[in-house]
Structure 1
Amino acid sequence: MSRTIKIPISKDAQVYSAISSANTNFGTSAYPTMNVGKDYASNIYRAFIATEHIGKIIPKGATITSAILRLYQNSTAVGSEDIRVYRVTSDWQETGITWNNQPGYDSSAPFPSTSNVLGTPVGSVSIDITSLVSAWFNGIYPNYGLVIKSYQEAVADRVHSFGTRESTTPTWVPYIEVTYQEAANSEVPYIESVFQQYAQNSTSLTFNTGSITAGDLMLVALAVSVAGLNVTPPSGWTSIGRTDFGGSYGVHYFWKIAGASEPTSHQFTRGSGTNTWVGQFIRIKRTNSNTPIKLTDITTATALQINTPVLSGVPAKALILDSVVIANGIPGFRNDGVNPTDMTFFTEATDGSSLDMGLYTQYDLDGGSNGARTYYINGSTNKPLAARVFAIDVPNKPPTLSLTSPADNQTLSEGNTLPVQGTAGDTDNGNVVTVKYKINNGPVRAIASGVSDGSTPISFAKSLTFNNKRLWDGSTDVAGADLAEGVDHILTVWTEDDQGGKSVEETRKFRVVWNRPPVISGTNENLGTIMAPPSKTYTVIEPEGNPFTITEKINGTVIRTFPGVAGQEETVTIPHNLWIRLDLDTPHSLTVEATDSNGLTSTRTYTFIRTETHIEFMLDFDNPDVEAHFTLDGMPKRVLVTLERYLPPGSSIEFVRVCNNALDAEPTWEDMTAAVVAGRGYLFTNQVKTAENWRINIWVCIAKGTATERVRLDGFGGAFD
């Protein structure tokens, strides 16, 4: 963007070679003009001028395309003369410079480099000093100002007179008109325009501004010649406050960010009265739309001067505004010859008699602490004064994002993680930066936040885990919905700051593969009616390669549990102690379950009905009580066995056998079936043993035969001697 601004002169003075004046200073407010050339007595005049505003008004990085020194020849000269400008090579003081102590200058490079004959008429004079101002701005030369002089200083009676910055006639005041091209990344605020009004005997003050661009900062300053009177702004304006000063005056400030359809006039009203008020409507572009006025403070005095408040924590490149009001003193501050050298006079609003409001600006390119500055009034009588300082914040620069992971187009299986990592940045020191993300159009969630120092990246990292068709941050379901297979899902990451800035969104595509349970070979099977424990072989594979556990069960009772090995053949069967406890003629389920590390389970089921044609048992000598009871020192001679039984028609006791030498390698079994059926005891016929002790054992077998009802053996009893 190209901008043209007027840069005021911060000091100027003539020097004069006449013997009586060679040590005289002409740099005070008593000298509203300065002369250049040789007078009729061959004494020489030179004019020195300087500005300290170039580095404070033009943003860093700009390119100066034009710089014109604007002078005003305020009286008719006797004759034409070649007037040139030269770069001064050392510093000088406005109120101390004389002919005898004047600084040196670069005589080899006049501006312009060719003849610049100045005529005799009164009027404006322009001299192109673009290359010199550019050299000052870029630090090639120190800025000590320039000297205006006759090129050869040879012809007498060729004096040309120009206005100084102390001139009471505004058109005489010299300045440098600079046009510059802002750098591509320049974001400094600037004053687009100022509308000024004053009114007497009116309860309203209206600024007819025309159309205003949305986002512009509108700042209004109002001074009223009465204290304690409130001013009502139009709708949507924010009051900065009223400050009374001098006992009889009040100053009011309001601001608003322009909307999309801002009115073309803005009326401020007050209560009834015949007092005077003046106002300035300041339109500022490129500000921080959230907090345009970063800092502000006001001070008052009744004196010959006023010191502005000090602002601390001013952001770099902020636009500094001084709004200075003087009561009962016209003219105000800009013509007194001692304005603060680091401020640029912008404009002045006055009613011509009772109130004067000056607006002064500068850029605080480095930030930090700003002020204080002293403003003096013209004259020697104390006046009521008020000075409010504003730091207008630079536009908020959006934060930046560097997303280093995840890679694009990942595929997530059960238990896989999606790492979200990178850095966020914000060149605005003090901004709170938050990294946010979302999955598809799901809820927006924060990853990390931090306060920017203007340069150090803020690192962030978060791992999202895919589980049970969803992405999880710990126990939080970040997507809020199942993620479908076979389609692209979008991770969107961005940063936001607390000033409304947002980075460019970065996206990553990913797909998901739903977790599948382990696969058990074979199919579910009905084994029919069986009389012996079944035995089935199987293998298990896990589609995602996750660890898995195998559990074998009979009717829900665990037979065994063990870590599975993919593809390894296993065999499931029913141990005897569980088999004999299974009800007869009743459906049973033998199952194999394979459960992966994510909790998904597959089951293979074998159903069957257990049946038996016989009930057959012996004594269990693994039971210590049974072993002790039936192991004897002496030879048993007789035994009685009773069976608590229900034998439906068609069933029978197939045999009952007993022995008294059960510890022998080959016991002698004797049939006592008839005795049991008859309910009688039985006399052992065997009287020998090979083992150390005698032991009785009983072997019972009951045949179901053709019975259709269930055969029951509820227990047995008996005795021996």
Structure 2
Amino acid sequence: MAWVEVKRESYYTSKGEKSGEICSGKSAGSPHWDQIEVRVGYTKESGDDFILVTELLLRPVDSFPRRTKFRSRIINSSGYEYISRIQETGEWTGYGAFSFTTPSAGTYTVIAEIEVLNNTPTVPSSITVPTTVRGGESLNISWGASTDADGDSLTYRLERSANGGSWTQIYSGSNKSYTDSITKGWNTVTYRVRAFDGNTYNGHSDYRTSPVRTVINNTAPTISGNDQNLGDKNLGFLITYQVNDVDAGDSLIVTEKLNGSTIRTINGAPRNQPVEIEITNETLFSLPLNSDNTMEIKVDDQQGGIAYRRYTFRRTNTAPIISDQDQNLGKKTEPFSVDFNVMDNESNAITTKTYLNGIKKEEYTVIDGATNTFAISKEDWFKLSIGQHNIKIEAIDEYGATSVRNYVFQRYDDKIQFTLKSPIETDIAATKILATPTWIIPEGAITKIEACNNAYDEVQAWEDITSQVLIGRHYNFTNDIKISDKWGIDIKFTIEKGASTEECIIHGFGGAFE
């Protein structure tokens, strides 16, 4: 580091002048001092000899004191310069003195100077360059940290030599890594790095130099797409990819592996053409349930260039398979049934639940592949309104995987006919009956109401009471014969659609007999 002037003062003196202070003052500090104070004085000795005394006081702003050199210079009016001895101190004060002779009175200039001695940073602890270097690709160089006894902030300068030529600086900064671009066609490359503390004197370390690396000018092959997680898989699937290599003369070998085991090798693989890997149901189902699996594709150009593509997936449980497909069964005029079977790829135990309009009707364990039947009972059928309804079949395996099959159908009637669930027993033959239905019969519909008083006979004597019902009056039975051992009343309603276009609604009926 060069000498730095911290104070300058001019004064006039003559022979015989008494001792005294020439100058005193403070100067702004450097980055390491917030105050520099200089005092310059002289004292007269015998004859014409004078002693010039200079003193330097420094106050630091940090806790890293430096070794400091201090000196004073005095220049007479003729330009002759006297330089004091150099004082070196490890403290934050310095003192220097020297004597000179003043042959005549005149103006003298006193200059106080300091020089701070800098400690050299250490050599970076390491430099790392990958052993494989490819022309036309990027290369990451990293290095270890340096230290500085003075606590200075350090930067690093990285240099490169290609093909044994001159060194070229390619990076300067505080980072400890750099990504370089390798020119295709280079044969060798070498790197070196050193540390800088920002000072001129001893401001940089020696170099840390890497081994010489040979540049491979073959370009590695490529595989389309990106590594990815394909998620859960419970059925076979396909992976499609393409390989390529800009080096036209390279012959490509593709190796496909599932969980580290080779499943196929393709010699002389085609470039830029779709290649498929099929993971069949059989292959998938052979993997452990809920296992994580890796499909690896490797392409080798046989010139040192290799590329990989990896796909991961999780083998999950397959839901049971219900035969047939969701469908509309159309119009239905009477109770019916649906046949189905259920299979499970893992041969798990299967529970089946059946629903009519969201109401569970059955729950049972089925045999894998066996035919099952869901039948709508007469009781349920007659409770269904005219219009659309739903049947749902739900199959659940022992691990909770579920499949659902849905059917819709429309209950349709162009004729409604119903009787009492059980006849009403009478002690003697009934002679009169009154029926009062609560209903909405659209115009164009054909209505017929019949009643009998021998309801327990195999062949009942039905009598048409429609006209009396429609006017709200009782009907007188004409039959007085029975074959059964008891008498009983029954009533039968028959309503046909006829020319009506609206819905017929029957809420119920009341009545009496005697």
TM range (shorter): 0.3 to 0.5
Higher strand share: 2
